[in-house]
Structures are given as C-alpha cells and as structure tokens.
A and B are shown apart, each in its own frame.
Chain A
Amino acid sequence: ETGVTQTPRHLVMGMTNKKSLKCEQHLGHNAMYWYKQSAKKPLELMFVYSLEERVENNSVPSRFSPECPNSSHLFLHLHTLQPEDSALYLCASSQDFRAAGGETQYFGPGTRLLVL
C-alpha cells in the first residue's frame, strides 16, 4: 500500500464504548497529525507527533488519547465519547514537523465516527 491509510473507515459507537482509530503512513515521514472535521467547521488540529514525540496538543479533551509507537503508526484511543464528537477524523503525515516551502501534509481518507 502507498500513502496514508486509516482504519476503520466508518465507526459507530456508544458513549460508554472504548475504540481506537488507526493510521499508518508508508511515506517515510517523521511527523504525523490528527485532525477533527465537523460539519460546516474548519479542520481542527488535535495532536501532532514528531519522531514519535507529541509536540502539540490543542486543548483536546482527555477522552481522546493519542499514541504513536513508531513514526509509521498513529492511534487515537476513544473513551466515553459524547455525541458532539461525531465527525470525520483525518490523519496526516509530513516529512518533518518544521517545514518550509511547498512541503505539504498528506492525508488519509479519514474515519467517519458516529457517537450514539
């Protein structure tokens, strides 16, 4: 496989469930990101990892717990979510955390999450 993959593509969970989202990048990148995309709102950056170290946490509730075991894999562990957490969760990667020029982030297809 190439690029950035995410599993599952769709997830329905109850508020008391525990689930995990998985992201894998096959690009040899050093930085990985979690974004939340809600309807009619700009993308919200949640977490940034650079070389497996968390470098940014944008005031995300503790019911979202990221994990980056190596530079190719990123997880988002979900616990006791609320209905307003329903959204598209996008994973992205880039060569390095500090970038300049036209270096872009490469996005996965996202996980559509519905919390009942």
Chain B
Amino acid sequence: AQKITQTQPGMFVQEKEAVTLDCTYDTSDPSYGLFWYKQPSSGEMIFLIYQGSYDQQNATEGRYSLNFQKARKSANLVISASQLGDSAMYFCAMRVDNFNKFYFGSGTKLNVKP
C-alpha cells in the first residue's frame, strides 16, 4: 500500500531563515514521483517541486529544494530564506508512475514570523 506521512502539523520559522518540512513515504513500487504543493488560505494547491525515484540528484527550484533520501524513504522540503508569503499549508504527495493517482500527506502549516 502507498502511504505518505507528514509528522509536523505546524511549524514556525523566522523570516529569512531556512526551514525543513518532513515527509516520509512508503511504497513497494520502484518507479514513483514525489511532489510538494503549497496551499495558501485561498485554497488553491500550487505545485512547487518534483523528485523522481530514479533521480540521482536532489531537485531544486529557486528557494525550494528537496532532500531525497531513498534508503530512508524520506523527501523533505527545504525552503531557504523564508518570506512572509511562504506562510501556508504544505503537502507532500506521491504518485506511482503510470497511474495518475496521488497520495497526499496530512500537511504541515508553516507560519513565517517577521
């Protein structure tokens, strides 16, 4: 069975500091993708970053990077230089390749303090 776990219901970070949001996953399928989404209070889920299970290097997208540790089955999101606009819910998701069914974690609410 596929499962995504986010153990941090809420996080605080000071503006301009870095923060790591945890995500662990479970699947027996060798080919899968890991995604992070941001959900502001407006409701829309915004795609941030993707990591494929066969990718050798950690994914990066601007201030977002994904710390992919395949043996530990973790895919933590690192946000560098936090901004006030980063305050939102963050969801980790997994998709087994060839089936567009996403498994989502329960989310982490990030609050960036000025």
CB proximity to B under 8 Å, residues A41-61: 41-43, 45, 48, 56
Per-residue contact bits, chain A 71-101, to B (CB 8 Å; 1 contact, 0 not) = 0000000000000000010101010111111
Of B31, B33, B44, B99, which one neighbours A98 at CB under 8 angstroms? Answer: B99
State whether A106 and B100 are in contact (beta carbons under 8 Å apart), knowing that A41-B106, A42-B107, A101-B52 are contacts in the complex: no
A62 within 8 A of B: no
Contact B33 A101 (CB under 8 A): yes
State whether A90 and B100 are in contact (beta carbons under 8 Å apart), knowing that A42-B106, A102-B52 are contacts in the complex: no
The interface stretch among B17-25, B67-75, B77-85, B90-98 is B90-98
Contact B101 A40 (CB under 8 A): no
State whether A97 and B100 are in contact (beta carbons under 8 Å apart), knowing that A88-B43, A108-B44 are contacts in the complex: yes
CA A100 to CA B35, docked complex, whole Å: 12
A7 within 8 A of B: no
A107 within 8 A of B: yes
Contact B43 A42 (CB under 8 A): no
CA A100 to CA B107, docked complex, whole Å: 23
State whether A42 and B100 are in contact (beta carbons under 8 Å apart), knowing that A90-B45, A108-B44, A112-B43 are contacts in the complex: no
Q: Which residue of A lies closest to B4 (CB)?
A: A42
Contact B100 A99 (CB under 8 A): yes
Q: Which residue of B lies closest to A98 (CB)?
A: B98
Listed residue (A41, A88, A104, A107) with the most chain B CB atoms within 10 angstroms of its CB: A104
Could you list which residues of chain A lie within 8 angstroms of chain B, going by C-beta atoms? 9, 31, 40-43, 45, 48, 56, 88, 90, 92, 94, 96-110, 112
Could you list which residues of chain B lie within 8 angstroms of chain A, going by C-beta atoms? 4, 9, 31, 33, 35, 37, 42-47, 50, 52, 91, 95, 97-107
